[in-house]
C-alpha cells in the first residue's frame, strides 16, 4: 500500500520572502494607479467608462490577481511537484477585473450609502471568488481540500476590503492619503491571500504520477511582464490628461459668473440742462448752434 502523507500544509515562503515583497509592491502600485484613474473618471463624461476600465484592470488584474499569482510562486508543498491549471488562472483574472468594474459602476460618482454597500459587496464577492479560483488551480501529487470556515472568512474580509476601497475612491482626494490607502489595500490583499492559503490542506501520495498542468512560473512570468508594461498605459494617460477636477471647477466658476446677478448700482440718467437763448444783434433771440459730438 502506498504511503500517504495526510494534511500537509504548504510552505508559503519556500523560495524566500523576496517573492512576497514583490507581490506586495505590485498590489500597492496597481491600487495607486487605479485610484488616479477613478479620480479622472469622476469628472469625465465622454471617457468615463474607459477610465473605469483601466482602473479595474489596475486594481483587479494587477493589484489583486497578478499580486496573488506572484505570491504563489513562493509556495512549495513538501513531497510533491506543484502544477497549475491555466484555465482557472485566466478565469480568476477575468472575474477579478469584471467584478471590480461592476463595483465601480454601481458605486457611482458621488458617495451614496446604498450604492456604496451594493458596489462593495459585488466587488468583494468577485474578489473572494477570484482568490478561490486562483488557489483551486493548484494541483499536486494527491488531493487538495479546503477549510470552508476559512473560505467564509476570506469572503467576509474581501467584502470589507472592497467596500473600504470603493469608499476611498469616492471620498479621498489628497494624494498622500491615496498613497496610504494603496499601502493598506496591499496589506489587505496579502491578508486575504495568506488566509486563503491557510485554508488549503494537501494530502500527498508519492506514488501518484506528476500532475498535469503548467509550471506556475511559465504562466505568471509572461503575465507579470504584460501587467508591468500594461501599467504604463494608464500612467501615461494620467500624466497626459488634464486635471478634470480643476477644469470642472473652472467651468463652474465661468457659468456662475454669467448667471450671477449684478451687485452694482444702476446708473441714474443725468438730466439735460435747458438751453438758454442767445440774443442776436437785432434783439431777436436765436438758438445756439448744435455742438459736434
pLDDT digits (tens, 9 = 90+) for 50-102: 999 999 999 999 999 999 888 888 877 777 778 888 888 889 999 999 999 99
pLDDT band, residue 132 (cuts 50/70/90): confident
Question: How far apart, in whole angstroms, are the C-alpha atoms of residue 133 and residue 10?
Answer: 17
Q: What is the pLDDT of residue 6?
A: 43
Q: What is the pLDDT of residue 289?
A: 58
Alpha helices per DSSP H over the chain: 18-42, 48-56, 67-72, 86-107, 113-136, 148-171, 175-198, 216-230, 232-240, 244-259
Q: What is the pLDDT of residue 215?
A: 80
Q: What is the pTM of this model?
A: 0.75
151: DSSP letter: H
Q: Average pLDDT, stretch 147-161?
A: 89
More reliable by pLDDT, 76 or 190: 190
Q: Is residue 185 over pLDDT 90?
A: yes
From first CA to last CA, the distance across the chain in angstroms is 121
Q: What is the pLDDT of residue 119?
A: 92
Question: How far apart, in whole angstroms, are the C-alpha atoms of residue 149 and residue 158?
Answer: 14
More reliable by pLDDT, 138 or 265: 138
Q: Average pLDDT, stretch 205-217?
A: 76
Q: What is the pLDDT of residue 198?
A: 84
Q: Is residue 213 over pLDDT 70?
A: yes
Helix (H/G/I), strand (E/B), else coil: 158: helix
Query: Across all residues in the chain, what is the average pLDDT?
Result: 80
What percent of the chain shows pLDDT beyond 90?
27
pLDDT band, residue 247 (cuts 50/70/90): low
pLDDT band, residue 237 (cuts 50/70/90): confident
pLDDT, tens digit (0-9, with 9 covering 90-100), for 157-171: 999 999 999 999 888
What percent of the chain shows pLDDT beyond 70?
78
Q: Is residue 156 over pLDDT 80?
A: yes
Q: Average pLDDT, stretch 30-43?
A: 89
More reliable by pLDDT, 74 or 129: 129
Residue 193 · residue 157 · CB < 8 Å: no
Q: Is residue 175 over pLDDT 60?
A: yes
Amino acid at each position: 500500500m502506498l504511503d500517504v502523507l495526510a494534511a500537509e500544509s504548504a510552505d508559503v515562503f519556500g523560495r524566500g520572502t523576496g517573492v512576497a515583497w514583490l507581490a506586495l509592491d505590485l498590489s500597492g502600485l496597481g491600487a495607486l494607479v487605479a485610484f488616479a484613474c477613478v479620480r479622472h473618471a469622476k469628472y469625465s463624461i465622454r471617457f468615463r467608462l474607459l477610465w473605469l476600465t483601466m482602473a479595474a484592470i489596475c486594481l483587479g488584474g494587477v493589484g489583486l490577481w497578478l499580486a496573488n499569482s506572484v505570491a504563489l510562486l513562493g509556495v512549495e508543498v513538501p513531497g510533491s511537484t506543484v502544477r497549475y491549471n491555466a484555465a482557472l488562472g485566466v478565469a480568476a483574472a477575468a472575474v477579478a477585473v469584471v467584478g471590480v468594474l461592476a463595483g465601480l459602476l454601481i458605486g457611482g460618482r458621488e458617495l451614496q450609502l446604498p450604492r456604496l454597500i451594493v458596489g462593495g459587496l459585488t466587488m468583494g464577492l468577485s474578489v473572494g471568488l477570484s482568490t478561490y479560483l486562483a488557489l483551486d488551480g493548484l494541483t499536486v501529487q494527491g488531493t487538495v481540500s479546503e477549510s470552508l470556515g476559512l473560505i467564509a472568512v476570506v469572503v467576509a474580509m474581501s467584502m470589507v476590503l472592497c467596500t473600504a476601497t470603493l469608499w476611498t475612491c469616492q471620498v479621498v482626494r489628497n494624494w498622500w492619503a491615496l498613497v496610504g490607502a494603496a499601502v493598506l489595500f496591499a496589506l489587505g490583499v496579502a491578508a486575504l491571500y495568506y488566509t486563503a492559503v491557510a485554508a488549503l490542506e494537501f494530502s500527498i501520495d508519492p506514488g501518484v504520477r506528476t500532475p498535469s498542468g503548467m509550471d506556475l512560473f511559465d504562466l505568471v512570468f509572461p503575465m507579470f511582464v504584460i501587467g508591468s508594461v500594461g501599467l504604463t498605459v494608464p500612467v501615461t494617460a494620467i500624466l497626459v490628461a488634464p486635471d478634470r477636477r480643476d477644469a470642472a471647477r473652472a467651468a463652474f466658476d465661468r457659468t456662475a459668473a454669467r448667471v450671477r446677478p449684478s451687485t452694482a448700482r444702476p446708473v441714474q440718467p443725468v438730466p439735460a440742462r435747458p438751453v438758454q437763448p442767445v440774443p442776436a444783434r437785432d434783439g431777436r433771440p436765436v438758438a445756439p448752434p448744435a455742438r459736434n459730438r
